[in-house]
Structure 1
């Protein structure tokens, strides 16, 4: 039998033979049990050395695609009969079955899940995604190379659990300058994103039955984390001034809030409400988590200092991240922790993952110290300003009959409350048909009844696409309204 094999050039000859025979076997052109030519004969037909063909046959034999039979030749290997899989325990059969089922019930909101290219819409208002195509590749590459040199000099030892000193110092300077946080490098604990910071605080402070107060609506992964530790999560409604501090129940030991830019509605917590929150925390002897997730981007009014800067009792844990200003995949976050819990959090982090990868830490420290971070934030700020103005123009114009924007001064998302009765599920379905991804706020509510509203993130969508997308939304709303 003469095989159809084409040899091009004079490089990787054995590889060319191997790949073409492999493809022929896997496609079925060479059937199981069929004999292939002896290596000497095939080498003569192709004008190659016998050693080259023997090497290709050897690789195919290792892949179990060919099998040699003594005295008979080499044959395409018949696939082995699939072995019957042994019966394995299902999760429900295990002694910990109920606990596993508890974790399986946890589900990130659609708005915060990973979205692959195959399911992503052309016009996507997903939140939490920073501006694309603006990542400072060249500056970051320089910083990573610097980090590689620092890691090489470390000679393979484990690093400090609290974080590389250079990054802790850089973070302390950054948050002191940008958010008025009162801290030194000694107060900083570097984490794998803000989510790990929340996890560490929870492990230190929460046990089964502990009362944790959360904003409602609020950030679901935080609430789910508290619940997973066995906490009794208490829903605290929000109003135009932020969290209703007067409704925080007695016995609360941990309070979770987003004072700078309430998630997901967007309003800032008023100065009076901040003072009241600190007073209530003092009364309860409770720790307050101040999640400052995206407040670097501010558009209106005088910048308001952090809640931590007002804290005189050491009760506020300031949690921040570079996921919103840089890239979520870097997984670099931090917490400015009160002295009362910092050491315990360091112990827990050491038991969990020892320390955050040092290469990324060194690169991030250099990125901040060289001024690249502030430069990048300014560049993104200009882009967000333009996108935000386009959204407001549509909400105050073409979309005004159906919705109004919730006032917000920071971040890169805004909420729009519906002012007309609309079938929200139908709106989302029809929008997807015209390649527009819209999201409601329903998944962010816990016990408070959801109000019809849309969530507009403007980091993932390009500026030039906003008008087109919202024009399609208006057309759908007109059809739904008759």
Structure 2
């Protein structure tokens, strides 16, 4: 691979080379530790003398930009870039609008490996230690063989046919969803499914109704599409359907495990929601994000399985059952939306990566997904029980647990005034990650409490972590 250097004319060759190499190092385009081409090779590439290149290397070495290693070559020195690019160019016509994006929050941003705490109750994470790496590796090898037999064309925007069929079989069996593979669009996570639906359904000023508290990334997504988001309060039965305003065109709801509080939507409320959607001519987005993990009570029907009039778009994800990094989700759509969403997906990203699609199709069809869900269910159930026991025990003076019956997180509501920012700050100092409920509220008055994820924390780590939380509470509360 050639180093990108452009030499114009035959004047000031050494200065041209020096300036471009120095700028590339300061800008970070030539990273610390990058190896430069040998002087003879770069001279041939640029059509200049080797002496010009060697002299330029020597000057940059003298100035500490480069370092020579005998027998190895010339490398970029380990020094910080000195040039800071302007964040905003004042001459841009849309500078103010670009600056607006700086204020947009990024909820649920997970830490890097280096920033991970020893005990982390972060939501949206999975039990990595339970992931069947050997099974997935075998399925990935199968995927590579499938791709090797292809002709090198782009894939279909709706997804690999084998995976669409496998998803339809899985979700029909596990959740009673009425569909075939033809109704499925494979997406890069559930978030892309929401984005596609918003692009098709919404115009600037369109009204979207969603739960408050609710899934903040969905609210932000609808907002940047220009929608007016109507925040609908929730109670013990779920979304207050009677509060959905006239003119609503899209209704976003998490009926199986309300996010973030955790209660399921009652059957009567589900019927009322479907009736209200029909009255409004609205589409209901049913985000069934972690319905596979149910711990008590009878399974509830999905909204989609109750829908007789084609008003429900069912959205699911494999981020909660497998790994978030796979970025695989899906939408099961009413017929009227299927072709428009396929077209929008092709325009926006053509198709999701086919390698993990082929692997997941094999993983589902050979029964590995079902076995993995059962294994994780047992693990999550024990973690949930341990947390509930602690909340009912030595943490009882401070918290009540919302009686969530599914999922991999629960909400803890404060029984007494607690300085939550101070609690979280002190917890981080002892390697415990805690997260507040407040950011998930929009217009409703937030309840003071924590969202406690138990997907990522190991079972044996729960008691030591909660011991530290209890000790902090004894000092500050």
* Pairwise TM-score range, normalised by the shorter structure: 0.7 to 0.9
TM-superposed deviation, 1:237 = 0.8
Within the candidate set 434, 438, 442, 1:446 is matched to 442
Q: Partners in 1 of 2:240 and 2:184 — Cα distance?
A: 29
Q: Partners in 2 of 1:69 and 1:102 — Cα distance?
A: 50
Residue equivalent to 1:227: 223
1:395-434 CA distance string (max 9 Å, x none): 0101011111001111000001000111111111111111
Within the candidate set 191, 211, 217, 1:215 is matched to 211
In the alignment, structure 1 residue 78 sits paired with structure 2 residue 42: no
TM-score (norm 2): 0.84
Within the candidate set 424, 429, 440, 2:420 is matched to 424
Within the candidate set 369, 376, 382, 1:380 is matched to 376
1:36-79 CA distance string (max 9 Å, x none): xxxxxxxxxxxxxxxxxxxx998367689xx9759x99984435
Change (3 A) 1:89 1:126: closer
Residue equivalent to 1:97: 95
In the alignment, structure 1 residue 410 sits paired with structure 2 residue 392: no
Residue equivalent to 2:273: 277
Change (3 A) 1:90 1:173: same
Contact 2:252–2:286 (CA<8 Å) still a contact in 1?
A: yes
Ranges in structure 1 where 5+ consecutive residues have no aligned partner: 1-55
Q: Partners in 1 of 2:377 and 2:216 — Cα distance?
A: 27
Q: Partners in 2 of 1:468 and 1:168 — Cα distance?
A: 43
Residue equivalent to 2:38: 59
Instruction: For residue 465 of structure 1, give the secondary structure of its aligned residue in structure 2.
Output: helix
Change (3 A) 1:404 1:359: same
Residue equivalent to 2:357: 361
Residue equivalent to 1:435: 431
Aligned residues: 421
Residue equivalent to 2:71: none
TM-superposed deviation, 1:86 = 11
Within the candidate set 298, 303, 327, 1:302 is matched to 298
Contact 2:128–2:323 (CA<8 Å) still a contact in 1?
A: no
Larger Rg: 1 or 2? Answer: 1
TM-score (norm 1): 0.83
Q: Partners in 1 of 2:176 and 2:386 — Cα distance?
A: 31
Q: Partners in 1 of 2:320 and 2:248 — Cα distance?
A: 30
Instruction: For residue 149 of structure 2, give the secondary structure of its aligned residue in structure 1.
Output: helix
- Give the 5 Å matches for 1:224-303: 224-303=220-299
1:334-392 CA distance string (max 9 Å, x none): 00011111110000001011111111111110000000000000111111011001100
Residue equivalent to 1:464: 460
Change (3 A) 1:251 1:434: same
Residue equivalent to 1:328: 324
Change (3 A) 1:74 1:173: closer
In the alignment, structure 1 residue 106 sits paired with structure 2 residue 108: no
Contact 1:68–1:74 (CA<8 Å) still a contact in 2?
A: no
Q: Partners in 2 of 1:373 and 1:362 — Cα distance?
A: 14
Q: Partners in 2 of 1:62 and 1:394 — Cα distance?
A: 67
Q: Partners in 2 of 1:343 and 1:62 — Cα distance?
A: 53
Residue equivalent to 2:7: none
TM-superposed deviation, 1:96 = 2.2
Contact 1:293–1:324 (CA<8 Å) still a contact in 2?
A: yes
